[in-house]
Chain A
Amino acid sequence: MADGRMPLEGVRVLDFSWFGAGPICAEHLATFGATVVRVESESHIDALRTVAPFAKGKTGYNVSGYFNNYNAGKLGLTLNMNTEKGRDLALKLAAWADVFLTNITPRVIERWGLTYDRLSQVNPGIIAAYQPMQGYDGPHRDFLGFGAVLTPITGYSHLSGFPNRPPFGLGTNYPDYVINPGHTLIAILAALRVRRKTGRGQRIECAQLESSVCPLGTAIFDYTANGRVQTRSGNGLPYASPHNAFRCRRLEGDPNDPAFERWIAIACFDDGEWRALVEAMGNPAWATDQKFATLEGRKANEAELEERINEWTSDKDAYALMRDLQARGVPAGVVQSAREMLDYDEHLKARGYYVYLDHPEAGRTAYDGPPFVMSKTPGKLRWPAPLLGEHTHQVCKEILGLSDEEIADLMVEQVLY
């Protein structure tokens, strides 16, 4: 049983990343026991610290829920890389680290002297993971972007939504949160294993362009193998019908505000699931029409079918309907908003997915919990996101071995800044 051991205890991570894709990856390393030093600078502030939501009535760099959710369990250091002493200290940290991680653009990384060649000179065994937007070579190497621009560039926007709508994407900077941090985490963990066996470090490049397109691989393969250009096709799936979201009874509130909408996703992959749905609907005459009896027939008449189902669901309570349909073996799930996930979802509560941490400035707030559950070495968000520079003194003293006097001087010189 769990006794508090963590798999990455003793692993040292130098987190030179910002925004989403890098910090999330490093947070997962911290969640499973790594010592993570997150390097920031007031001269090069992580824009996420300046982006909403902010704790109620609070302002400043330390109260963004966006930033805080991705940086729990890290030590926060401020270091001004536009100074020579700052760059020297970065190399000292690299000598200490097992893993270096950055998603800062290649031009800046080269200017700061944080390339693998340089890092491996001071630490031959280091695992250096780079998450450039496009790669460290190639004709688009220096193209700009972050999640908002990456979503269209990598194909998500073109493939998302209904065909009569412009390609506006998924409403978020989608690849930033699971796809890119997740792939990078996999690469780092694989490299850590190799290093423990062979003593050898290496350079990892997880170009966000390449990482992001992998989960869209089938569409690219359909083009290279068949010459077909897939496009956005709404909520359907070729081998299920119905397969959509259906309106349920609204919550009380402004009838024009989508916040009070309720929807349920329902899908039938075979005739058995369809018959169970028909029974749940009380065997209405329309549903027993032969044209809906087979998947082929349902696909051919899908618009009519889904309109009928929508009429049936529109006055139902979404949660009662989900429970009823699932009990009958029909795949169904409430289209949950954050409100539903935090306040209504009994399942997430029972599993304890969301974690509440007390932050000195932002107060008690919710964090996404560990991304997977390990039976013997569970992850833990050990402390909330650091204040800007919260652990500068501690890191300088305990990791870099600087004296109080040296630290004070470096602060005055705006090196630790």
Chain B
Amino acid sequence: MMNQAKDDPGSSTVTAPLSNRSDQAEVRRALGVKSSSTDGEINREIRSLWSDAWRRFRRHKAAMIGSLTLFFIILACAIGPAIAPSPDKTGLAEHLEYLPPSFDYLFGTDELGRDELSRILNGGRISILIGFLSVIVSISIGTAVGSLAGYFGGWLDNVLMRLTDFALAFPRLFLLILLVSVYGNQFWIIVLVVGGLSWMSTARLVRGSFLSLKEKEFVEAARAVGVRTRRIMLRHILPNALGPLIVTATLGMAGGIISESSLSFLGLGIQPPAASWGKMLQDSQGATSTAPWLAIFPGLMIFLTVLSINFIGDGLRDALDPRGKL
């Protein structure tokens, strides 16, 4: 994210071929190109772009390990709470005390005797879900702002980019804390605030892609045969700008999870009895000497999740955005 030199906003260039079949056909019909021969050629190109990417991704060992780890974490959080714990281990156990990790309680128990492993699996749902949803928010805003600015240029570009600079100048964590403490800490507010404060780099990236792609011949061709502007933006240009966008989204999810955990850790996140990983870490602070396992496991889960996502993002960058730096 730091690789965008500030005097060179959105420096990414995309060199993927046209990827929307129906519109290709549209263009070809209008140009009177015989479809049978070209069709096969273009289809092969489409296949090779993504299968090429897949081949590059598979060669990236760290990314493969990351994908596997993330898959298991998500799987465990999704089905774990339903099958893992016996009821007395989730609710209040008969003993209201800290128990160190044992065969009965793999990750130990908290001060109410609740099974830490079950709480972690439940908390993971919240942490990962907020990370995921906030990325959807930030990517949507960023793509909308960036594509409008890049495609139309002129005063709209000026206004939107000043807005982006403006949003970037705010101290992010300060504003995050401020907004959540002012508007409350419900699930959706946290999603919107975390996502709404991190769309700026996406906007710059997408603007950069649109700026260079809108000059390409295939856009000119689409325009010449009368494809409507909205369709050109969404079906012709956007698919070609997808590579770097996917990379940003992946890394953004790691950022979202960290942001949510930071908020929870400061006591501003999801409220009890629900718990996210950050909230569990906050609770553990009072007992670092008596029950250190409570500080170790939730943090380890955040760390592993974020590390896996970062590895995947790195692999995706190698695969989809070969010219991207870092």
Same assembly: no
